[in-house]
């Protein structure tokens, strides 16, 4: 932030956190400023994941914050701050902690938790979330082709997964497969080193280049019954888990806009054209204010979603508007990511030609936004989920 200028959190949503949470968020910012921000563009340019930073990230002790007693608002703001510094690291954090580790909390047996949970929270082991398939993205719930066949005390897994974040280096995956006996979708803790598992990095990405996405092939992979998530017997069992991750991607859209505003304002104040700073031109100020408005609107929406989550977590169940439902999560993700797309485009425009090279930061922010716009349900699919909720008519075949 430029000296004396207001924060991109223009309405002060951070003040809604407790004193303890605000102090912890400052610790997160200090860590990111020292250990991540100076190096993130180089990691991105080289498309390499910084495994060496994981012990330092673990030292923040922020795995599944709500499970540790923090608020949903704090949890979301952590994701926003991680994204503000580096979208790729934030995506790693979400995949590992908010999908894999959260699944252990929600669906794991006591034996599974005892065996894996502490190491996963400490990042001694890393996890992935293997759901999407080469031919099934938005329709994977009904079209899942990966199969699981029971054979005594083991399961035999066959099929393929695609776009699996952390997939090239993770120790375990929460892998989804359809039971050949009854068609039910089941979840497994898959040791990624088992015979029959092939992992191949997806190359040539234009977004989230630091994230190591993988194609996964499963050829008669045997998994013990003790590694099946007993709490998952259908895809609907995971609604809470998937709703939570969708909401966190909305927080990523906030963080991406905070990053874009920070970068664009700094550039506009410092860059001289026609004998004065870019910030002295009316059209540049209009663009910055539009970016700030989009960011503030997104923050407001996500803060309200966090309140709904907190009501569900703490309050009586079954009451009207108790907890954020999937349609509300879908609206949050689709709307904030749409605003984000405009915000990063405005920011890139302010940089002119310098906005298309990663040396100045804005190009990376601009490119990474495309991944946020697409994953955890594309803008179009999330829009149709909300449309179904408000009309009672489904437009999804």
In this predicted model, what pLDDT tens digit does every residue of 362-374 receive, in sequence order?
999 999 999 999 9
**Domain final residue, candidates 121, 138, 155:** 121
Tokens found for residue 251: 């927080």
- What CA–CA distance (Å, rounded) separates 289 from 320? 36
- Higher-confidence residue of 239 and 22: namely 22
Q: What is the mean pLDDT of residues 311-338?
A: 74
Do 222 and 249 lie in one domain? The reply is: no
Under a CB-based contact definition with an 8 Å cutoff, are residues 187 and 174 in contact? yes
Contacts of 84 (CB under 8 A, 6+ apart): 32, 255, 256, 258, 259, 262
Do 84 and 72 lie in one domain? The reply is: yes
Q: What is the mean pLDDT of residues 164-193?
A: 96
Question: What pLDDT, on the 0 to 100 scale, is given for residue 234?
Answer: 81
Question: Could you tell me if residue 319 is inside a domain?
Answer: yes
Question: What pLDDT, on the 0 to 100 scale, is given for residue 143?
Answer: 85
In this predicted model, what pLDDT tens digit does every residue of 42-66 receive, in sequence order?
999 999 999 999 999 999 999 999 9
Do 270 and 367 lie in one domain? The reply is: yes
In this predicted model, what pLDDT tens digit does every residue of 260-286 receive, in sequence order?
999 999 999 999 999 999 999 999 999
Question: Could you tell me if residue 344 is inside a domain?
Answer: yes
The residue to which tokens 């190359």 are assigned: 203
CATH of the domain at 380: 1.20.140.10
Do 282 and 337 lie in one domain? The reply is: yes
- What CA–CA distance (Å, rounded) separates 163 from 205? 11
Do 255 and 351 lie in one domain? The reply is: yes
CATH of the domain at 44: 1.10.540.10
Under a CB-based contact definition with an 8 Å cutoff, are residues 22 and 70 in contact? no
Question: Could you tell me if residue 44 is inside a domain?
Answer: yes
Do 244 and 381 lie in one domain? The reply is: yes
Do 198 and 263 lie in one domain? The reply is: no
- What CA–CA distance (Å, rounded) separates 132 from 55? 29
Question: Could you tell me if residue 2 is inside a domain?
Answer: no
Q: Which of 3-17, 94-108, 303-317, 346-360 is predicted with the least confidence, judged by mean pLDDT?
A: 303-317
Do 179 and 111 lie in one domain? The reply is: no
Question: Could you tell me if residue 147 is inside a domain?
Answer: yes
Do 148 and 97 lie in one domain? The reply is: no
Q: Which domain holds residue 116?
A: 13-121
Do 136 and 42 lie in one domain? The reply is: no
Question: Could you tell me if residue 25 is inside a domain?
Answer: yes
Do 200 and 252 lie in one domain? The reply is: no
Question: What pLDDT, on the 0 to 100 scale, is given for residue 321?
Answer: 44
Question: Could you tell me if residue 7 is inside a domain?
Answer: no
Q: What is the mean pLDDT of residues 207-224?
A: 97
**Domain final residue, candidates 86, 102, 121:** 121
- What CA–CA distance (Å, rounded) separates 264 from 348? 8
CATH of the domain at 192: 2.40.110.10
Under a CB-based contact definition with an 8 Å cutoff, are residues 125 and 55 in contact? no
- What CA–CA distance (Å, rounded) separates 110 from 117? 10
Question: What pLDDT, on the 0 to 100 scale, is given for residue 171?
Answer: 97
Question: Could you tell me if residue 3 is inside a domain?
Answer: no
**Domain final residue, candidates 121, 153, 169:** 121
- Domain count along the chain: 3
Q: Say whether pLDDT at 87 is over 80.
A: yes
163 DSSP β-pair partners: none
Question: What pLDDT, on the 0 to 100 scale, is given for residue 322?
Answer: 46
The H or E element containing residue 174 is strand 172-179
In this predicted model, what pLDDT tens digit does every residue of 230-260 receive, in sequence order?
888 888 877 778 899 999 999 999 999 999 9
Question: What pLDDT, on the 0 to 100 scale, is given for residue 127?
Answer: 97
Question: What pLDDT, on the 0 to 100 scale, is given for residue 316?
Answer: 43
Binning pLDDT at 50, 70 and 90, where does residue 297 land? Answer: very high
- What CA–CA distance (Å, rounded) separates 265 from 263? 6
Q: Say whether pLDDT at 210 is over 90.
A: yes
Q: What is the mean pLDDT of residues 118-129?
A: 97
Q: Say whether pLDDT at 27 is over 50.
A: yes
Q: What is the mean pLDDT of residues 168-192?
A: 95
Do 196 and 276 lie in one domain? The reply is: no
């Amino acid at each position: 932030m430029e000296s004396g200028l207001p924060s991109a959190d223009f309405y002060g949503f951070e003040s809604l956190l407790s004193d303890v949470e605000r102090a912890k968020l400052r610790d997160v910012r200090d860590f990111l400023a020292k250990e991540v921000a100076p190096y993130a563009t180089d990691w991105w340019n080289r498309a390499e994941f910084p495994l060496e930073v994981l012990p330092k990230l673990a030292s923040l002790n922020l795995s599944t914050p709500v499970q540790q007693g923090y608020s949903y608002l704090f949890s979301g703001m952590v994701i926003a701050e991680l994204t503000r510094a580096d979208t790729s690291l934030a995506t790693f954090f979400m995949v590992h902690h908010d999908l894999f580790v959260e699944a252990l909390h929600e669906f794991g047996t006591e034996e599974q938790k005892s065996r894996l949970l502490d190491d996963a929270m400490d990042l001694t082991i890393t996890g992935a979330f293997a759901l999407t398939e080469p031919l099934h993205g938005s329709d994977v719930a009904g079209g899942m082709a990966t199969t699981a066949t029971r054979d005594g005390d083991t399961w035999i897994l066959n099929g393929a997964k695609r776009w699996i974040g952390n997939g090239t280096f993770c120790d375990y995956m929460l892998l989804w497969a359809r039971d050949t006996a009854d068609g039910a979708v089941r979840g497994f803790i898959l040791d990624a080193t088992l015979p029959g598992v092939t992992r191949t990095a997806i190359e040539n990405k234009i977004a989230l280049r630091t994230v190591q996405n993988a194609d996964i092939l499963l050829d008669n992979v045997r998994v013990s019954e003790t590694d099946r998530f007993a709490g998952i017997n259908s895809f609907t069992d995971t609604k809470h888990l998937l709703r939570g991750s969708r909401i966190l991607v909305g927080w990523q859209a906030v963080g991406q806009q905070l990053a874009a505003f920070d970068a664009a304002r700094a550039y506009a104040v410092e860059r001289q054209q026609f004998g004065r700073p870019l910030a002295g031109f009316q059209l540049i100020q209009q663009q910055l204010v539009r970016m700030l408005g989009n960011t503030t609107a997104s923050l407001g929406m996500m803060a309200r979603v966090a309140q709904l989550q907190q009501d569900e977590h703490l309050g009586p169940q079954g009451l009207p508007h108790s907890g954020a439902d999937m349609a509300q999560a879908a609206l949050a993700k689709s709307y904030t990511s749409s605003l984000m797309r405009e915000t990063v485009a405005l920011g890139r425009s302010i940089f002119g030609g310098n906005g298309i090279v990663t040396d100045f930061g804005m190009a990376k922010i601009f490119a990474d936004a495309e991944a946020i716009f697409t994953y955890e349900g594309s803008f179009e699919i999330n829009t149709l989920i909300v449309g179904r909720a408000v009309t009672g008519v489904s437009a999804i075949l």
